[in-house]
Structure 1
Amino acid sequence: MTDKLTAAEAEKEFWKSLKESNTGMLGLDKPGYHHQPMTGYGEDETGTIWFFTRDDTDFARDVAGGGQDGMFCYQAKDGKVQACIHGRLAIDQDRTRIDKYWNPVVAAWYPDGKDDPHLTLVRFDANDGRVWVSDKGALGFGYEVLKANLTKSTPDVGGVSDVKL
């Protein structure tokens, strides 16, 4: 893939990658706020990413204070897709989503299961961001770096595009 990555291609790759490798860093989009690792369940058709959390965390309390601007920073396990996505955060106790995304890993955080009084969902409505995509892999990356050094050029390691989600 070259640097001529279209917004549609970048968006498609982001949502596809998020389904396969869904952990990133989520936080409020404001100075001094520290993001935290969170597992997201993306819905490309609505531009929404859902996160389980507990209502007794600082993050949940901050989001519960009213609709907040948020940022989700993402890197796929295979390193092919990276993204920084801006959006709106809100608490949303959507029972359908709890049932849909419930799994043994999520269950480990809630001793009383789906009826745990601390179970909380955070809804992230993605607005826009930047997505980087590289299909070179580790060997391809190494080759591009070596070639760039030998030819005094820059490596072609993928493309980048701004997206409106």
Structure 2
Amino acid sequence: MSDKLTPQEAEKEFWKSLKESNTGMLGIDQPGYHHQPMTGFGEPENGTIWFFTRDDTDFARDVAVGGQNGMFCYQAKDQKVQACIHGVLAIDHDRERIDRYWNPVVAAWYPDGKDDPHLTLIRFEADDGRVWVSDKGALGFGYEVLKANLTKSTPDAGGVSDVNLQ
């Protein structure tokens, strides 16, 4: 892959990767706000990522104010896809999404299960961002670095593209 990654390819790779490796850093997009690790469940058809949270956390209370711009920073476990996505955060109690994405890992955070009074969702309506994709792997990256040093050039580390996920 080279710098000629199209927005459509980047978007496709992002959603595919998020389905396989769905943890990133989510936060309110404002100076001084610290992002936190969150597991997201992506819906490419509508550009939305859903996150389970508890309503008694600082983050959920901050999002509940309404109209908060957010940022989701993502790096796949295999490091082939990285992304930084802007969007709008909102509290949601969509029962269908809770049922759809409920799993044993999520259940561990809610002693009363799906009826836990603190269970809530954060809906992240993705807007725009930047996605980096590299399919070279560790060996390919090492080769690119070696080649660049020998030829006094820069390595081909993959492609990057701005995306609009709306």
How high is the TM-score relative to the length of structure 1?
Answer: 1.00
**Once the two structures are superposed, what CA deviation does each residue of 1:10-61 show, in whole Å capped at 9, x if it has no partner?**
0000000000000000000000000000000000000000000000000000
**Once the two structures are superposed, what CA deviation does each residue of 1:95-150 show, in whole Å capped at 9, x if it has no partner?**
00000000000000000000000001000000000000000000000000000000
Partner of 2:91: 91
Partner of 2:22: 22
SS at match of 2:147: helix
SS at match of 1:41: strand
**Once the two structures are superposed, what CA deviation does each residue of 1:79-106 show, in whole Å capped at 9, x if it has no partner?**
0000000000000100000000000000
**Once the two structures are superposed, what CA deviation does each residue of 1:60-90 show, in whole Å capped at 9, x if it has no partner?**
0000011210000000000000000000000
Partner of 2:44: 44
Partner of 1:4: 4
SS at match of 1:11: helix
Partner of 1:126: 126
CA distance in structure 1 between the aligned counterparts of 2:145 and 2:58, rounded to whole angstroms: 42
Q: Which runs of 5+ in 2 are unaligned?
A: none
* Percent identity of paired positions between Structure 1 and Structure 2: 88
Number of corresponding residues: 165
CA distance in structure 1 between the aligned counterparts of 2:81 and 2:122, rounded to whole angstroms: 23
What root-mean-square deviation, in Å, do the aligned CA atoms of Structure 1 and Structure 2 show?
Answer: 0.3
4+ residue runs of structure 1 moved beyond 6 angstroms? none
Deviation of the 1:3 alpha carbon: 0.6
Partner of 1:107: 107
CA distance in structure 2 between the aligned counterparts of 1:27 and 1:157, rounded to whole angstroms: 28
SS at match of 2:148: helix
How high is the TM-score relative to the length of structure 2?
Answer: 0.99
CA distance in structure 2 between the aligned counterparts of 1:115 and 1:68, rounded to whole angstroms: 27
Q: Which runs of 5+ in 1 are unaligned?
A: none
CA distance in structure 1 between the aligned counterparts of 2:24 and 2:5, rounded to whole angstroms: 22
What code does the residue aligned with 1:91 have? I
Deviation of the 1:157 alpha carbon: 1.0
SS at match of 1:154: coil
